[in-house]
Amino acid sequence: MATIREIAEKAGVSVGTVSFILNGKGDKMRISVATQERVLEAARELGYLPSISARRLRNSDEKKIPVITILWTLDARASLISRFLQGIQEKSLFKDGMFELLIQPYENGKIHEVESLHTGTRFNGAIIANASKEDLEYLERTNLNVPIVLYQRYSEKYCTVNVDSRLTGIEVAEYFASKGHKSVGIVVPEISSQAVDLRQEGFLEAVKNSGMINSQILRGDFSEEGGYSVIQSLVKRSKDLPTALFFLSDPMAVGAILACHEHGIRIPEDLEIIGHDNDEQTAYTYPPLTTVHLPVEEMAVACVNQLMELINHKVETTGSLEFKTELVKRKSSKS
Amino acid sequence: MATIREIAEKAGVSVGTVSFILNGKGDKMRISVATQERVLEAARELGYLPSISARRLRNSDEKKIPVITILWTLDARASLISRFLQGIQEKSLFKDGMFELLIQPYENGKIHEVESLHTGTRFNGAIIANASKEDLEYLERTNLNVPIVLYQRYSEKYCTVNVDSRLTGIEVAEYFASKGHKSVGIVVPEISSQAVDLRQEGFLEAVKNSGMINSQILRGDFSEEGGYSVIQSLVKRSKDLPTALFFLSDPMAVGAILACHEHGIRIPEDLEIIGHDNDEQTAYTYPPLTTVHLPVEEMAVACVNQLMELINHKVETTGSLEFKTELVKRKSSKS
DNA sequence: TTGTACGCGTTATCAC
DNA sequence: GTGATAACGCGTACAA
Q: Tell me how far apart the alpha carbons of residues B92 and B223 are, in angstroms, rounded to a whole number.
A: 31
Q: Which residue of A has its CA nearest to B69?
A: A102
- Identify the residue among B99, B286, B307, B330 best suited for mutation to test binding to A, counting A beta carbons within 10 A and taking the highest: B286
pLDDT at residue number B272: 98
What are the angstrom distances between the C-alpha of A127 and each of A33, A130, B160?
Answer: 49, 10, 33
pLDDT band for position A63 (50/70/90)?
low
Find and give the residue nearest to D10, measured CA to C1': B54
Q: Are A208 and A231 contained in the same domain?
A: yes
CA of A43 to C1' of D2 (A): 20
pLDDT at residue number B63: 66
Interchain contact, B52 vs A124, CB within 8 Å: yes
Query: C1' nearest to CA of A8: which nucleotide?
Result: D4
Q: Are B286 and B170 contained in the same domain?
A: yes
pLDDT at residue number B205: 96
Q: Are A70 and A134 contained in the same domain?
A: yes
CA distance A181 to chain B (A): 26
Residue B103, pLDDT > 90, answer: no
Flag whether residue B151 sits within 8 Å of chain A, measured between CB atoms: no
CA of B48 to C1' of C5 (A): 24
Q: Are B175 and B287 contained in the same domain?
A: yes
* Bond into A287 cis (ω within 30): yes
For residues B303-330, one letter each, b for 16 or more C-beta atoms within 10 angstroms of the residue's C-beta and e for the rest, the string is bbbbbbbbbbbebeeeeebebebebbeb
Q: Is residue B99 part of a domain?
A: yes
Q: Tell me how far apart the alpha carbons of residues A107 and B169 are, in angstroms, rounded to a whole number.
A: 38
Domain that holds residue B68: 52-162+297-323
pLDDT at residue number B30: 86
Contact predicate A328/A175, CB 8 Å: no
Among B261, B283, B312, select the one facing A47 at the smallest CB separation.
Answer: B312
Q: Is residue A196 part of a domain?
A: yes
A104 DSSP β-pair partners: A71
Q: Which residues of A touch B286 (CB under 8 A)?
A: 257-258, 261, 285-286
Q: Are A108 and A79 contained in the same domain?
A: yes
Q: Is residue A328 part of a domain?
A: no
Among B93, B239, B226, residue whose Cα is nearest residue A283: B226
Proportion of chain A above pLDDT 90, given as a percent: 63
Average pLDDT over residues B61-66: 76
Q: Is residue B314 part of a domain?
A: yes
- 3 state SS of A63: coil
Interchain contact, B52 vs A121, CB within 8 Å: yes
Q: What total number of domains does chain B contain?
A: 3
Q: Is residue B334 part of a domain?
A: no
B106 DSSP β-pair partners: B73
pLDDT at residue number B181: 95
Q: Tell me how far apart the alpha carbons of residues A233 and A255 are, in angstroms, rounded to a whole number.
A: 13
For the segment B205-218, what is each residue's pLDDT rounded down to a tens digit?
999 999 887 889 99
Residue B140, pLDDT > 80, answer: yes
Residue A155, pLDDT > 90, answer: yes
pLDDT band for position B95 (50/70/90)?
low
A72 DSSP β-pair partners: A105
Average pLDDT across chain B, whole number: 91
CA distance B146 to chain A (A): 10
Contact predicate A112/A140, CB 8 Å: no
What are the angstrom distances between the C-alpha of A308 and each of A11, B2, B74, B147?
Answer: 46, 16, 21, 32
Axis crossing angle, helix A33-46 with helix A4-11, rounded to the nearest 10: 130
What's at A125, amino acid-wise? G
Average pLDDT over residues B113-125: 89
Residue A64, pLDDT > 70, answer: yes
Q: Is residue B335 part of a domain?
A: no
**Cβ-based neighbour number of residue B151 at 10 Å:** 23
Residue B92, pLDDT > 70, answer: no
Q: Tell me how far apart the alpha carbons of residues B197 and B269 are, in angstroms, rounded to a whole number.
A: 29
Residue A196, pLDDT > 90, answer: yes
Q: Are A170 and A289 contained in the same domain?
A: yes
- Comparing A72-76, A172-176, B283-287, the range with the smallest average pLDDT is A72-76
- 3 state SS of B255: helix
pLDDT band for position A93 (50/70/90)?
low
Q: Higher confidence at residue A51 or residue B61?
A: A51
The CATH number linked to A79 is 3.40.50.2300
- 3 state SS of B15: helix
pLDDT at residue number A92: 67
Q: Is B249 exposed, middle or buried (0-12, 13-18, 19+ CB in 10 A)?
A: buried
Average pLDDT over residues A301-309: 94
Q: Is residue B329 part of a domain?
A: no
Average pLDDT across chain A, whole number: 91
What are the angstrom distances between the C-alpha of A328 and each of A279, A335, B225?
Answer: 11, 12, 17
pLDDT at residue number B238: 78
Q: Are A15 and A72 contained in the same domain?
A: no
What's at A223, amino acid-wise? S
A105 DSSP β-pair partners: A72
Among B292, B238, B295, B285, residue whose Cα is nearest residue B261: B285
Q: Sheet containing A148-151: which strands, arranged edge to edge?
A: A100-106, A67-73, A125-129, A148-151, A159-163, A320-323
Q: Are B58 and B114 contained in the same domain?
A: yes
Average pLDDT over residues A293-317: 89
pLDDT band for position B96 (50/70/90)?
low
Which residues of chain B from 80 to 109 reach within 8 Å of chain A, CB to CB? 81-82, 85-86, 89, 94, 100-105
Q: Are B171 and B290 contained in the same domain?
A: yes
Q: Tell me how far apart the alpha carbons of residues A50 and A18 are, in angstroms, rounded to a whole number.
A: 12
Axis crossing angle, helix B250-262 with helix B224-237, rounded to the nearest 10: 40
Residues listed for chain A: 335
CA of A7 to C1' of D11 (A): 26
Contact predicate B198/B169, CB 8 Å: yes
Q: Sheet containing B326-328: which strands, arranged edge to edge?
A: B214-220, B183-189, B244-247, B272-277, B290-293, B326-328
pLDDT at residue number A192: 82
- Identify the residue among B79, B123, B247, B250 best suited for mutation to test binding to A, counting A beta carbons within 10 A and taking the highest: B79
Dihedral of the alpha carbons of A110, A115, A120, A121, in degrees to the nearest 10: -130
Q: Tell me how far apart the alpha carbons of residues A289 and A292 are, in angstroms, rounded to a whole number.
A: 10
A220 DSSP β-pair partners: A189
- Comparing A309-318, B118-127, B152-161, the range with the smallest average pLDDT is A309-318
Contact predicate B330/B287, CB 8 Å: yes
Q: Are A143 and A94 contained in the same domain?
A: yes
For residues A78-90, one letter each, b for 16 or more C-beta atoms within 10 angstroms of the residue's C-beta and e for the rest, the string is bbbbbbbbbbbbe
Residue B162, pLDDT > 90, answer: yes
pLDDT at residue number A2: 85
Q: Are A33 and A63 contained in the same domain?
A: no
Q: Are B182 and B253 contained in the same domain?
A: yes
Q: Is residue B222 part of a domain?
A: yes
pLDDT at residue number B135: 95
- Comparing A22-26, A69-73, B138-142, the range with the smallest average pLDDT is A22-26
Query: C1' nearest to CA of A14: which nucleotide?
Result: D4
Contact predicate A17/A35, CB 8 Å: yes
For the segment B282-331, what is each residue's pLDDT rounded down to a tens digit?
999 999 999 999 999 999 999 999 999 998 877 666 789 999 999 999 99
Q: Nucleotides on strand D with an atom closer than 7 A to protein CB?
A: 1-6, 8-15
Average pLDDT over residues B68-94: 85
Q: How many CA atoms lie within 13 A of B200 on its CB side?
A: 18
- 3 state SS of A246: strand
For the segment A21-60, what is each residue's pLDDT rounded down to a tens digit?
988 888 888 888 888 889 988 898 888 999 989 998 888 7
Among A285, A218, A217, A219, residue whose Cα is nearest residue A254: A285
Q: What is the pTM of this model?
A: 0.92
